[in-house]
Amino acid sequence: MITRIDLRGRSLSRRDLLEVLPRAEVDVEHAAEVVAPILAAVRERGAAELRDLAERFDGVRPEHLRVPADVVAAAVDALDPEVRVALEETIRRVRSVHAAQVPADFTVEVAPGAQVRQRWIPVRRVGLYVPGGLAVYPSSVVMNVVAAQEAGVGSLAVTSPPQKDNGGLPDPVVLATCALLGVDEVYAVGGAQAVAMLAFGAAGTDDVDGETLCEPVDVVTGPGNVYVAAAKRLVRGFVGIDAEAGPTEIAVLADGTADAVHVAADLVSQAEHDPLAAAVLVTPSVELAGAVESKLVDLVGATRHRERVMTALAGPQSAIVLVDDLDAGLVVVNAYGAEHLEVQTADAADVAERVTSAGAIFVGPFSPVSLGDYMAGSNHVLPTGGCAHFASGLGVHSFLRAVQVVEYDADALREVSARIVALAEAEGLPAHGEAVQARL
């Protein structure tokens, strides 16, 4: 059901590790070739093309590409009360964490009369994509919207695929979540075409659309399939993006103290996302590896999405990796850079402090990834495919720009003028120095 990779007794360089560790193969380049004509067509034909593409890909032709505000508001009334309570608690926790992320402005007096200030300014408008294929993700609405709201973004647009069994509207729980968050600009548009609509805007074509269906945004965020990732790659530069999200990943660093049922359950929970989802256990314990393999058989056989889970666990992106000890395990997980990393070891908090590459770290037996997916308060939109080596998960920072404000008086400028002239001459740019001298 899941392969083993035995690294015991082997001293591998980082390059060697990246070659042998499992990872999903995703051909974004090919997907980009497929979606490029879609982006161009949406840019040219606007709402008419969006309806044609919905009919082609989603099996339904939406009357309302922009969901009427009263429909969004009414979705709350139909929401299961227990789901509503859960969403409201998720919103509260996520908001409390993200409110603490807001950075402070600062001012530095570098000399008398010489001041540099730094301001954090939110982007004007963001577009938030919420998937709706194999599963629907109201939790992703919370993660994207709350981070943008706490950053101070003034204009938010949410888009999610039209559902054939919901009259061409997005999933009703997604709509209700938007209403709970106070977002009423919601679109029934999915896939690469949604990214195009957000990046370029879209003209209306039917009376219900108005002259302009959707105004362009400054930043597009949110997870999606390979075609969404490819579309985000192609529009980057027209707009900002959070990341090209690939298939989801979990890595578990565990020793012999870990509970095999916990580990196996967490691998299965991540594998149910997608047949390409990666589930990796790194352990020095052969006994734990065997116990997890045994538990996987039982758990996979009993889970609802067993075929999807079996495909993910048996794929080349998933494995049990045997290492000599926890130090070697840390080298492996730091080279892997998982989207989600669980540390289930003795002294788990101390071990977690030694992790240098992960989208998010879940410490100890009672902090499963599922907690972070919903209600930990952290954000679940995280870097995949090893991008955790250089990228962060979604947060308030994703929607802020640092702008430096320079203010010198005449005396402060005069004090450094000769040095500026010297540097300008050294760089062969004398007019730079002359621009200073003209003021003195």
Measured between alpha carbons, how far is 376 from 439 in angstroms, rounded to an integer? 56
Measured between alpha carbons, how far is 64 from 133 in angstroms, rounded to an integer? 20
Out of 273, 340, 342, 380, the active site residue is 340
* HSE, side-chain direction, 13 A CA sphere, residue 5: 21
Classify strands 155-160 and 240-241 as parallel, antiparallel or unpaired. unpaired
Residues in the chain: 440
Nearest to 266 by CA among 362, 143, 150, 149: 362
- Facing residues of 118 across strands? 106, 404
- Coil, strand or helix: which one is 46? coil
Out of 150, 185, 272, 339, the active site residue is 339
* HSE, side-chain direction, 13 A CA sphere, residue 414: 7
Tell me the two tokens of residue 362: 């879940």
Q: Is 340 a catalytic residue?
A: yes
- Number of helical H runs and strand E runs in the chain: 17, 16
Tell me the two tokens of residue 298: 């039982």
Listed in sequence order, the residues at least 6 apart from 10 whose beta carbon sits closer than 8 Å to its beta carbon are none
Say which amino acid occupies 264: A
407-434 b/e (C-beta count within 10 Å ≥ 16 → b): ebeeebeeeeeeeebeebeeeeeeeebe
Spacing of C-alpha 152 from chain mean position: 19
Known catalytic residues?
339-340
